[in-house]
Every structure is written in C-alpha cells, then in structure tokens.
Structure 1
Amino acid sequence: MKKRVYLDYSATTPMKKEVLDEMLPFFNVQFGNPSSIHCFGRENKSAVDKARSTIAKTLNAGVDEIFFTGGGSEADNWGIKGVANALKDKGKHVITTKVEHHAVLHTCQYLEKDGFDVTYLDVDQYGMIKIDELKAAIRPDTILITIMFANNEIGTIQPIKEIGKIAKDYKITFHTDAVQAYGNVKIDVKDLGIDLMSLSAHKIYGPKGIGLLYIKKGTKIHPIIHGGAQERRRRAGTENVPAIVGFGKAAELAYENIDEHVNQLVTLRNRLINGLQEKIPYIHLNGHPTKRLPGNCNISIEFIEGEALLLMLDMVGIAGSSGSACTSGSLDPSHVLMAIGLTHEVAHGSLRLTIGDYTTEEDVDYVIEQLPPIVERLRQMSPLYEKVKGGR
C-alpha cells in the first residue's frame, strides 16, 4: 500500500481514541434524554453538565455561558442573527471583514437583505485588519463587530484583544469565530473582551456535528431555533449527548498539553515551509509570517493550476486542499487570497497544507520530496513558465 499523508487538519481532524471511548456508552447504554426527570435522564444531564464545565474552564468562562449547537456554522449564524434581532431597535449596522468564513459572510449578506447595513473591512497583504480602519468604520448605529480569531485558509491570527477593547469602549457586542483557533491558541474570553464566540469539536479531534456558542452573561441575543426548553431555553432540540461528551473530552485533551502541541506543530510547519521554499522557485507564503496558526502552511505556487496539483498529490498519497473545505466545490478563486491582493492566476495555484498531532517528520519530508517534481511536471505544461525560464 502506498504511503498516505494527511495534511488537511484545518478541514477536519481524526477523532482521538480517548474521545471515542468516552462517547460509546452514550449511544446504547446511557441513552436517556437529559430533559427527562428519571435516573436515565439525570445520568445524561450530569454528563452534559460535566462536558460544559470542562469546556468552560478551558476558556475561563462561566458554565452558564456555554451553549451547545450543531456545529460552528450554526454558532456563527446564531451569534450574528441573534444579536441583530435583539438589537435592531438600537441600530442596524454590522462590521466584519472580507476574509471571514462563509458561515459569517453569508449570514451578513442575509442580514443585508433584511435591511441591515454591513461594512466589510479590507485586510493587508498578510490578511490582518487595520485597527484604525475598524475604529473609522464604527457608527452610532453599530451594534455588532464579528471578526474571526484566526483565518481558516491562511492562518493569520487577528489582534483579538485590541478588537475586544474597542468594542467595549464603544459598547458594541463583539463576536469572533474561533473554530480554527481553539485548541491551537490559549483563549481567555474575559481577558480578550469577547462577548460571543463560535467553536466546533471536529477541529480538535472530537466528533463532527457538535459546536458551541459562548455567550457572555448579560449579552442580548435572541434564539434562532425554537421548540423546546433545552440549553436554558435558548437553543431548542434534544441534546446530542454522545457528541457533547466527546466535545468535552476533546477539549480536556487539547488543553492538557497545549504548549507541547503548539511547539510540535510550529517545528514541523517551519520544516515544511523552509523545505518547500528551498526546492521550489516562484512560491510565496500566504498569511502572516509569525502571527499565524501553528500548523498552517498556505503557499501560492506560480504557473500551475491548484486543482491539478491536488489530484497529483492525491495520486502519491498526500491530502491537502486549496482553501476552505466548505467551498471545495467552487471554481472561483479563494475570496481570502483575493482579499490579500493575489491575482486570479496566482490564487488558483495556491495550496493549503495543515499539520496536526499525528503528523511526523517523515510525513513532512515525504511532501518536500514529492511536491517539487509534481510542480515541475505541471509547469512544463505552462507556456508562461517556459517564457519565464527562457528569460533567466
């Protein structure tokens, strides 16, 4: 069997054995509905409460500030629509950025159709917002700032603490999509001034289909799912107990050794970036060189087409991506790469390789060995590359 190397951890992570072991009894042994008052229900309510408490501790949040959802996208929708509906009598202006995940961008576009005004901030060449432009965008009717913690494509980490302080100074609710940051960055919601934050379990070696919205106590927000009293009457629907239990265990494991985890990822990421830069001409690192997620390597490779590159990598057992997994079926260039100033041609030749806990030095070296000849083969088909070579 050919070697297989998974470098798409930003799309999803494999569930850890400890997480699965914790979840298994709740599928068929401890199967009660947490809302039931009998012992079967009480046992599962206790399990949900334990997971909620575990996650709250990793964030320095209150247990009553954690609300489980069906994933990160639902949490983004709830945070944005919920605040907009709760505060629309106060104002109808929202501030976000051009590099958000589509769960945020599409939700903001939905609000625009409902009469809200949305400002989409530009970013610099590294994908970073400019604080002065954020301040300049604030209006008397601004009710929400929603800016992601770390970018899912290029890995750039935004100045969240500064944004939180500005939001507090202007008495504006601040939401952040921290789906990619959680488990890779230490997050203290109180210190950072965060009012609302979206998370997802499957990015931290937990199950898919479970996320949460952190809601700071006192934040005005309306529910978007109605029909029951679950999650303290804010999010209706019978709790997904196995997934919640798995989320709690994954969070516990993620924050037990977060420093070791980050150091390991940074070492391997730098080995990968440096190795590719040494062997492949005309490549560029996308995102901030230092203020980036520890496992993120996003590069633009000139004179090639990204889809062909991914297919050829897959043929040698290497799994990567050209951007967000949520938009993998789109033929359009990444909106993130366009926002940082790349041309259509260069953006189409971009590759995202993301490292995780199960990545080894051998995996990285295998990619460094396999990618250059693939790039060279693809470039041989490019008349533009032949012209550049001839002009050396």
Structure 2
Amino acid sequence: MKIYLDNAATTRLDKEVFKEMEPYFFDGFANPSSAHGPGREARRALEKARATIAGLLGADPSEILFTSGGTEADNIAICSAIRGSGIRLAVTTPFEHHAVLNTLRSLEKNGEIELVYLMHDERGNISLKHLESILAFNSRAFVSVMHGNNEIGNLHDIAEIGTLCRKYNALFHSDTVQTMGHYEFDLRSLPVDFITGSAHKFNGPKGVGFLYSGSRTTVLPLISGGGQESGRRAGTENVAGILGLAKALEIACRDLHEDRDRILRLKKEMIAGLRKGIPGISFNGSSADLDDSLYTVLSVSLPPLPEMAAALSYLDSNQICASGGSACSAHSGHGSHVLKALAYDFERTAIRFSFGKYNTSDEIAYTVARLSDLYQNARLKDLPLAV
C-alpha cells in the first residue's frame, strides 16, 4: 500500500482531465498558430480553455497568459512589473518560493532594485504595519507576498495586502500556486495585479500554468520568438496541457467545498493522532491552526531521534510519501529556507504532510500509527528523545 502525502509537491492527474487532453495528443495535434483547418480547431480549443479559466476566476480572457508553470509565471510577473514600470523598490517575505526569492535577488544583485523583507513573528505571520510604513514613505513599489505557504501552511490576507498596495499605488503580485484550485478567487473585486497557477498542484498535468495580469500591468516577454500569447510569451502553446489545466481547474472549483471539508477532516485527524501518539511534538508556522492555514498542509516538528533522517526514512520504508520541506528545498540540498527564517531548531526533525482529494481516513490512521510506533520503540530501547 503506497500512501501519498506529498500533494503540495505535485498531485495525481485526474482521469477526467486526461480524458479531456487525450484527443489533442493525436487527432487534434495541430499547431494553433497554423492557418489551416486543424490549426484553427486547435486555436478554438485553446481560446475556449482561456475563457473557461477566466470565467472561473472572474477575469477577462485577455488577462490570462499561458506559461510552462508557476515558476515561469512568477518570473514574468516580477520582471514585467519592475522593468515595465521602472520600479526601484521591491518588498517581499523570506518565506516565498524560490521562484520569487531568487528572481528578486537576481534583480537586486544586478542593481535594478532595492529589496526589503517584511518583519514577521515567530510563526511566520508578517507585519502589515511594516508593509504600510514602507509603502507610505517610499516611491512606487512592487510587493510580492504568497497567498499560502507551501511549507508551513501560513495563509496571508491578500485582499488586505492588495488594498494597502492600491492605497499607495504599488503593484502587487501574489504567488497563488498552492491555493489555486483550493480556494475561491474573484478577480473582479480582489485587488491584485498578478497571480499565478500551476496545473499539477490541483490534479492537472505538469509543465503548464498561467499568469493573470490585471489592467494596471504591462507584460514583457522573457524570451524572444514568435508572437504567441499576443506577443507576451513566445513559443508554440501546449494545447493538450492547456486543455488539461482548464479542465482540472473546472473540476477543482466544482468540487471545492466538498473536497475542502473532507481534507480538513483528514488534517484534523492527523493533528489529534500525532499529539496523542508522540509526546513533545509541535507544529511549524500556523499549519496546525485549522482556521488560519492551508487545509492541505501540515508541517510537523518531531523530537530528535538518534539519526536526523530516521523519521523520513522510516516513513518511506513503510510506503508513506512525505517530505522534509518543499520538494524544491530537498532538490537544492540546502535545507528549508522557510524553516531557517523561523530560526527552527534543526535538532528536531521537520516533516511536511500535504493532503489531496484522493487521501483517505485509513491512510491517515496508518501514517499516525507508524510514526507513533517509531517513537514508542525508540523509548522502549531507552534511546534519548529530547522534547
């Protein structure tokens, strides 16, 4: 039995989504920029997908730009806002995804911007008073604050942040990759200039995403090439992937309330079970706050075992898939920058469990039992477990 609890890294493709995509790998494979009949049919399908996504988000189809995923979308938003508007001050948090942080740091290194990080508390909650003080006493700024943190689950009030940005004429970008398909968005009323989505985070295909850019923005292409996406993103569009993206978002929005309620119950069961089974356990950020965190993410801080990797290795040997932070942090080999920003005690083992619509209560019970067994056995063997 393989238990997959790493849905913040990627999700399983929905069969309904694959069914939507399949014809465009074979019969509908034509280039949507071609003038012949099959090309026009591919173009119609692509623009229908764009209209579907825009309709689900309360946007205009012209405001939806297709990309290869969230990383590219974040890069386009950041570089377009700063270079297109001549902005010299950028404001962000130390908890952002590397797609945001590394892009901003590169612009800072090149001398294009001054980069300021928002103050935060010990749980990673940012200070909006600090944000307002920055915006009030500086020239026009660019602000990038993610909606939901992929590692510690903190949710940020992007409506309030956006309102502050509008008050001081700042451009506001929010990385919404973890919340897209899991929360409702109405861009007719939400004061954001850029948001991003990546299909594989809500049971769509990998390698396709989108950028929403509002009416106050200018989008500059990152690469030169053809005139695809109205000249904003060169390269032949991934028609099958785009149709999968639209279908996955449609399904996610259709089932949002039902999926959220069920997944939230699973998260609640895991929190209760781990607290009962492992003395000294704690939770990182706001992830254990059921009312104020991503319902899909739980970041656990475990008492030390003799080997730091023992807990994750043990879970893996028991066919349970979880992560020590974000998948991107694990790949970098440098550990979690999010936990480092929280001054995390790395003597303790951090595990991120992230839930999806295919998880079950039995899987949660099994995972809790195995992890509790690990710590109970360590105690029986008189191994030191600091709490």
TM-score category of the 2 structures, normalised to the smaller one: over 0.9
1:352 aligns with 2:352: yes
* 2:46 matched residue in structure 1: 48
- What is the CA distance between 1:340 and its match in structure 2? 2.6
Q: Using a 3 Å threshold, how does the CA distance of structure 1 residues 60 and 192 change in structure 2: closer, same or farther?
A: same
Provide the C-alpha distance between the structure 2 equivalents of 1:382 and 1:40, rounded to a whole number of angstroms: 70
Provide the C-alpha distance between the structure 2 equivalents of 1:351 and 1:306, rounded to a whole number of angstroms: 11
- What is the CA distance between 1:384 and its match in structure 2? 5.2
Equivalent residue for 2:91, pick from 68, 91, 95: 95
Q: Using a 3 Å threshold, how does the CA distance of structure 1 residues 378 and 339 change in structure 2: closer, same or farther?
A: farther
Normalised by the length of structure 2, the TM-score is 0.94
1:118 aligns with 2:115: yes
Written as runs of structure 1 = structure 2, the 5 A alignment for 1:195-344 is 195-288=193-286, 289=289, 290-304=291-305, 307-344=309-346
- What is the CA distance between 1:198 and its match in structure 2? 1.2
On the 8 A contact 2:140/2:169 being kept in 1, the answer is no
- What is the CA distance between 1:93 and its match in structure 2? 0.6
- What is the CA distance between 1:184 and its match in structure 2? 1.2
Provide the C-alpha distance between the structure 1 equivalents of 2:334 and 2:245, rounded to a whole number of angstroms: 34
Provide the C-alpha distance between the structure 1 equivalents of 2:150 and 2:323, rounded to a whole number of angstroms: 12
- What is the CA distance between 1:83 and its match in structure 2? 1.2
On the 8 A contact 2:193/2:216 being kept in 1, the answer is no
1:106 aligns with 2:66: no
* Residue-by-residue CA offset, 1:344-372 (whole Å, 9 max, x unaligned): 323xx101011111101110110111111
* Residue-by-residue CA offset, 1:202-237 (whole Å, 9 max, x unaligned): 001000000111000231232212211111111110
- The residue identity in structure 1 corresponding to 2:27 is V
Q: Using a 3 Å threshold, how does the CA distance of structure 1 residues 381 and 154 change in structure 2: closer, same or farther?
A: farther
Provide the C-alpha distance between the structure 2 equivalents of 1:319 and 1:170, rounded to a whole number of angstroms: 45
> After the TM superposition, which of the residue ranges 134-143 and 358-367 deviates more from structure 2?
134-143
On the 8 A contact 1:210/1:244 being kept in 2, the answer is yes
Q: Using a 3 Å threshold, how does the CA distance of structure 1 residues 238 and 381 change in structure 2: closer, same or farther?
A: farther
For the aligned residue pairs, the C-alpha RMSD in angstroms reads 1.7
Q: Which runs of 5+ in 2 are unaligned?
A: none
Matched residue count = 381
Q: Using a 3 Å threshold, how does the CA distance of structure 1 residues 122 and 307 change in structure 2: closer, same or farther?
A: farther
Provide the C-alpha distance between the structure 1 equivalents of 2:69 and 2:170, rounded to a whole number of angstroms: 25
1:160 aligns with 2:162: no
Provide the C-alpha distance between the structure 2 equivalents of 1:27 and 1:381, rounded to a whole number of angstroms: 57
Q: Which runs of 5+ in 1 are unaligned?
A: none
Provide the C-alpha distance between the structure 1 equivalents of 2:66 and 2:377, rounded to a whole number of angstroms: 48
Report the 3-state secondary structure (helix = DSSP H, G, I; strand = E; otherwise coil) of the residue aligned with 1:49: helix
- The residue identity in structure 1 corresponding to 2:359 is T
Provide the C-alpha distance between the structure 2 equivalents of 1:169 and 1:5, rounded to a whole number of angstroms: 47
- The residue identity in structure 2 corresponding to 1:350 is A
On the 8 A contact 2:329/2:337 being kept in 1, the answer is no
Q: Using a 3 Å threshold, how does the CA distance of structure 1 residues 202 and 366 change in structure 2: closer, same or farther?
A: same
- The percentage of counterpart residues that share the same residue type is 39
* Residue-by-residue CA offset, 1:6-50 (whole Å, 9 max, x unaligned): 000000000000100110111111111111111111111111111
